[in-house]
């Protein structure tokens, strides 16, 4: 069960020192990190968030390259973190190991499936942590816990030695409390050289997405707009209805019926259809990866997870080729499969965040942009919060 002294973030604590000389000047020297219990680490059983999985699998014989990279970069590992069972949830709960405490709002969920990794950073137990993001499993807990979370371009960081959920969508992501460390970790994982930040030529705001917020959209957009105006000038700001753009540029999406969302000023139905295609692809690949094990072992799974897992195992693979076509068309149309979650203070004492997207492969550019923007964003957040009181 969860250990209250560490906010329930860890399933197992241990120390693995950097695989480099202490005299070397390395980008992550002196930093500590934690690892989601989905990464292989030599000599340890990868638990995948479930005791039955741990019981039926041997200890790993090698360490995932992503973990080796940050160890080689000079960081010290402090242990493994709690995750949603089989990574198949976005809530951050775990029946067996407990639900890590959301430091920002202890009576709320921390978000998942990389819940413990987010809480370990938010609770200042480590400087950064590793997680995975298939459909938001880094970005969501980062948002809920008021910290930075980064999902890189698909395929940019090796997923070897990481238990798959849906490999067409899986990525290795990471958390940090400040933009400098987020950037440094990213440059190690992505093997990027140090370069001077490049000024963005345009920043586009997806107006329809902000209209879906349960808080005043102006509370979020004004912070971004004022920060961009101060740093780069308002002329680079552009506005788009993402739903309409997706509808016009992802023709295969017509095969999916999205939820009808009435009384909306913007056309968000294509985004709901996109979500349907994503869920179908994720379910199919989860079944292919783990259906046999689930059917044989019949693991003890928590509420919500159990229903979702068995629905996947019993599903038929309908329209999977169409799902892959949607994914390909979307990448071409948006060139925006990369995202980073940035905290924007609080509203009604709850954390608020925004996701920034850049075209596929522009990870280094986005990391530099976040570091450039972050200080000004915090200034604007302070102003916005003062005005709300």
Q: Which residues are catalytic?
A: 36, 113, 137
φ and ψ at 178, to 5 degrees? -135, 160
Q: Which residues pair with 33 in a beta bridge?
A: 77, 128
Question: Within a 13 Å sphere around the CA of 173, how many CA atoms are in the beta-carbon half?
Answer: 34
275-297 b/e (C-beta count within 10 Å ≥ 16 → b)? ebbbbbbbbbbbbebbbebbeee
d(CA 382, CA 199): 25
Residue given tokens 């950037």 in the structure block: 183
d(CA 109, CA 111): 6
- C-alpha 222: how far from chain center: 24
- Other C-beta atoms closer than 10 Å to the C-beta of 110 total 30
d(CA 380, CA 389): 15
Q: Report the sign of the C-alpha dihedral through residues 98, 39, 173, 31, in that order.
A: positive
Closest CA to 114 of 91, 95, 98: 91
């Amino acid at each position: 069960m969860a250990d209250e002294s560490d906010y329930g973030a860890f399933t197992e604590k241990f120390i693995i020192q950097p695989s480099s000389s202490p005299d070397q000047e390395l980008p992550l020297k002196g930093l500590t990190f934690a690892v989601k219990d989905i990464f292989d680490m030599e000599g340890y059983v990868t638990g995948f968030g479930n005791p039955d999985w741990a019981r039926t699998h041997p200890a790993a014989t090698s360490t995932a390259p992503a973990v080796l990279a940050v160890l080689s970069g000079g960081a010290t590992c402090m242990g493994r973190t709690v995750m949603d069972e089989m990574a198949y949830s976005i809530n951050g709960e775990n029946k067996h190991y407990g639900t890590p405490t959301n430091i920002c709002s202890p009576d709320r969920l921390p978000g998942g499936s990389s819940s413990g990794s987010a809480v370990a950073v938010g609770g200042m137990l480590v400087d950064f942590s590793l997680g995975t993001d298939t459909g938001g499993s880094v970005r969501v807990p980062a948002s809920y816990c008021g910290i930075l979370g980064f999902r890189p371009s698909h395929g940019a960081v090796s997923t070897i030695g990481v238990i798959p959920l849906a490999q067409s969508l899986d990525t290795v992501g990471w958390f940090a409390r400040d933009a400098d460390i987020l950037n440094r970790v990213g440059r190690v994982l992505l093997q990027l050289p140090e370069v001077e930040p490049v000024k963005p030529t345009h920043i586009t705001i997806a107006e329809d997405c902000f209209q879906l917020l349960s808080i005043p959209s102006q509370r979020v957009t004004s912070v971004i707009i004022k920060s961009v105006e101060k740093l780069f000038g308002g002329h680079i700001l552009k506005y788009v209805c993402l739903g309409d753009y997706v509808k016009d540029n992802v023709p295969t999406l017509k095969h999916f019926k999205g939820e009808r969302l009435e009384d909306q000023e913007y056309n968000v139905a294509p985004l709901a259809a996109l979500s349907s295609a994503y869920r179908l692809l994720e379910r199919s690949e989860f079944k292919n990866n783990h259906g046999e094990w689930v059917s044989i072992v019949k693991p003890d799974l928590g509420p919500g997870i159990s229903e979702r897992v068995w629905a996947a195992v019993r599903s038929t693979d309908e329209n999977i080729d169409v799902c892959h076509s949607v994914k390909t068309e979307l990448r071409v149309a948006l060139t925006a499969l990369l995202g980073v979650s940035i905290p924007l203070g609080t509203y009604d004492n709850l954390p608020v965040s925004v996701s920034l997207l850049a075209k596929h492969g522009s990870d280094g550019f986005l990391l530099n942009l976040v570091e450039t923007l972050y200080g000004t964003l915090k200034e604007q957040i302070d102003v916005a919060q003062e005005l709300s009181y």
